[in-house]
Amino acid sequence: MEFTPVCLLLSCLHVSPDSSQLFRYDSVSLSCSDRLNSTGWRVRRNTSDGGVRLCSSGWGVASSVSACTIRNAYPSDSGVYWCESREGERSNSVSITVTDHAVILESPVRPVIEGDAVTLRCQTQTTPSNLPADFYKDGFLIGTGSAGEMTIHSVSKSDEGLYKCQTHLGESPESWLAVQTKFLVLSPSPTPTPTPTSSPAPLLSLPRLMCHLVVGIPYLLTTIILGLIYRDKRKRAQSHAEQRGNNDVIMEIAI
């Protein structure tokens, strides 16, 4: 089980496996990360049958306050999932489709970051699960994968759209692939599998750096402002003292 570690929102919903589509009877884990350690985030969902309901209302098994597992997914579990605090703040939301189709498209639940690679997998419930597949975007054939996979090597905003795939066993439902601009990064992309030719990873990735900045800047500002206020107070106290000293001298002279 692998959850995407960094998220710049107060809370993010992590989904494992990272797939917008599931077969009937698949299981899926949902958990809320909590930037402020408040344990107040709960998994909620909105389905066409059940409306908006908390995990504790019975659609999943709560493994902790902020995590929920669906052991046997049904098509009625299809819907939008998110985390919500007691105060009503919402995390990112993800759309999950549970299908009776013989084929699903595995695409990431979260937006892909511009410039990153994304691999779409066409999975069948029968073995082998990686049959040759055609991939469609917004209804148009965009490629074929002999092993049921298609990789977009450098994603751009124009790759955003509704994707589905098809094997000789049938076609998958459609899922929306979102693309996020690099400078509005809310979460890192899934770590690509390292290849021998890949360059060494930078010590501090952009998302991580932004995370440090977002967390660090309020502290830094508070420290500076408190420092200035303190300095100002001391100065004023000093000049008061000096003034009083001068008055004493004047009074002495007067006496």
User: Site residues (CB under 6 A) for ligand NAG?
Assistant: 37, 46, 52
Find the shortest distance in angstroms from Cβ 82 to ligand NAG: 8
Q: How many CB atoms lie within 10 A of CB 202?
A: 9
Q: How many CB atoms lie within 10 A of CB 45?
A: 26
Give the span between the Cα atoms of 148 and 134, in whole angstroms: 8
Comparing CB distances to ligand NAG, the nearer of 80 and 206 is 80
Comparing CB distances to ligand NAG, the nearer of 175 and 189 is 175
Comparing CB distances to ligand NAG, the nearer of 46 and 125 is 46
Residue nearest to ligand NAG (CB): 46
3-state DSSP call for residue 68?
strand
Find the shortest distance in angstroms from Cβ 32 to ligand NAG: 14
Residue pair 162/175 in contact (Cβ under 8 Å)? The answer is: yes
Comparing CB distances to ligand NAG, the nearer of 38 and 151 is 38
What is residue 74's DSSP assignment? -
Find the shortest distance in angstroms from Cβ 210 to ligand NAG: 20
Find the shortest distance in angstroms from Cβ 122 to ligand NAG: 27
Give the span between the Cα atoms of 77 and 12, in whole angstroms: 20
